[in-house]
Chains A and B, each alone.
Chain A
Amino acid sequence: MPSSDDEADRIPLSARPEWSDVRPVPQDDGPNPVAPIAYRDEFRETMDYFRAVYLADERSRRAIDLTTEVIGMNPGNYTVWHFRRVVLESLNADLLDERDFLDRMTMRNAKNYQIWHHRRWLAEKLGPEVANKELEFTKNILALDAKNYHAWSHRQWVLQSLGGWENELDYCCMLLEDDIFNNSAWNQRYFVITRSPLLGGLLAMRDSEVGYTTEAILANPQNESPWRYLRGLYKGDTSQLISDNRVSELCLKVLKTGNSYQFALSLLLDLLCYGFQPSEELRAVVEALRNSEQEDTVSSNLAATVCLILEITDPMRLNYWVWRRNNLPSQVC
Chain B
Amino acid sequence: MGGLEEEKHARYIVSVEKKKDDFEALLIEHLRMNGAYWGLTTLDLLNKIGAIDVDEVVSWVMECQDKDCGGFAGNLGHDPHLLYTLSAVQVLAIVDRIDVLDIGKVSDYVAGLQNDDGSFSGDMWGETDTRFSYCAICCLSLLGRLSKINVEKAVNYIVSCKNLDGGFGSAPGGESHAGQIFCCVGALAITGSLHHVDRDLLGWWLCERQCKDGGLNGRPEKLADVCYSWWVLSSLIMIDRVHWIDKEKLTRFILNCQDKDNGGISDRPDNAVDVFHTYFGVAGLSLMEYPGLKSIDPAYALPVDVLLSSHVPSSYH
B-binding residues in A (CB < 8 A): 27-40, 43, 51, 74, 76-79, 82, 85, 113, 117, 120-121, 147, 149, 152-153, 156-157, 160, 181-184, 187-188, 190-191, 194-195, 224-225, 228-229, 231-232, 235, 315-320, 323
Q: Chain B's nearest CB lies how many Å from the CB of A314?
A: 10
Q: Chain A's nearest CB lies how many Å from the CB of B161?
A: 11
A-B contact count (CB 8 A): 139
Top 3 nearest A-B pairs (CB, nearest first) are A232-B164, A38-B21, A187-B175
Contact residues in A for B176 (Cβ distance below 8 Å): 187
Contact bitstring B172-212, A, C-beta under 8 A = 1, else 0: 01111100000000000000000000000001110110101
Contact residues in B for A34 (Cβ distance below 8 Å): 17, 36, 56-57, 60
Residues of chain B from 239 to 270 with CB closer than 8 A to chain A in the complex: 243-246, 249
Q: Which of A33, A153, A228, A229 has the most CB of B within 10 A?
A: A228
Q: Which of A117, A120, A160, A235 has the most CB of B within 10 A?
A: A117
Residues of chain B from 6 to 40 with CB closer than 8 A to chain A in the complex: 17-21, 23, 25-27, 29-31, 36
Q: Are B125 and A85 in contact (CB under 8 A)?
A: yes
Contact residues in A for B27 (Cβ distance below 8 Å): 74, 76
Q: Are A35 and B17 in contact (CB under 8 A)?
A: yes
Q: Are B164 and A31 in contact (CB under 8 A)?
A: no
Main secondary structure of the interface of A (DSSP, over half): helix
Q: Are A28 and B208 in contact (CB under 8 A)?
A: no
B77, CB-defined interface residue at 8 Å: yes
Contact residues in B for A33 (Cβ distance below 8 Å): 60
Q: Which of B25, B29, B203 has the most CB of A within 10 A?
A: B29
Q: Are B21 and A319 in contact (CB under 8 A)?
A: no
Q: Are A147 and B222 in contact (CB under 8 A)?
A: yes
A33 to B32, CA, bound (A): 12
* 12 cross-chain CB contacts under 8 A: A35-B17, A37-B29, A38-B20, A38-B21, A76-B27, A149-B175, A153-B174, A184-B219, A187-B163, A187-B176, A232-B164, A323-B244
Contact residues in A for B60 (Cβ distance below 8 Å): 30, 32-34
Q: Are A77 and B207 in contact (CB under 8 A)?
A: no
Q: Are A153 and B127 in contact (CB under 8 A)?
A: no
Q: Which residue of A lies closest to B60 (CB)?
A: A34
A225 to B127, CA, bound (A): 29
